[in-house]
Amino acid sequence: MIILASASPRRRQLLKQIVPNFKVVPAEGGEEADASLPPEEIARSLAAHKCDEVFSSHPDDTVIGCDTIVVFNGAVLGKPKNAADAAATLRALSGRTHYVVTGVCIRKGGQRLVDHERTEVKFNVLSDEFIARYVAGGSPLDKAGSYGIQDEGVVKAYYGSYTNVVGMPVRLVKEMLGRLQK
């Protein structure tokens, strides 16, 4: 059985594109990583922590863990603490470019694969009115970087994997699953 170590409804939808039947067992542990690491290593470390935690209680299954971070001007932007934090993040990203990294860890038996995907994202210029309406709608409050690429009006362009920005790089996960020994 394949297990997704995430409660994210977006990751669930994306995994269904490549694996029709799987179980969801969210990791319970906190999301802490060494902030001195490069962003790609932070995302990989967080994904591995989630995967390892769930795998420890499901060692006969294949477990997939993911973690998505947003990086702007060298700083990692996590999920916003509240609406004001989300609005401040959106104002900072408005009209500018940042990148999104999703770490992926997959474990099966004695095998453990860890990788990541990186996508560059350019924002539209967002008015204060747009930001207020967007934040009031609630969408940014559970997302790294305070936005969803699928939300209308936020993203002007992206370079790389769309599904990576949503939260699970489908092509990479499919390729990693294919690398696992039977």
Q: How far apart are CA 105 and CA 107, in angstroms?
A: 7
Choosing from 34, 52, 61, 67, which is the catalytic residue? 67
Strands (E), the chain: 2-4, 23-24, 62-72, 75-77, 97-108, 111-123, 155-159
128 catalytic residue (yes or no):
no
Token pair belonging to 149: 């690429």
Token pair belonging to 60: 């006969």
CB-CB neighbours of 1 under 10 Å: 10
**Residues forming the active site:** 67
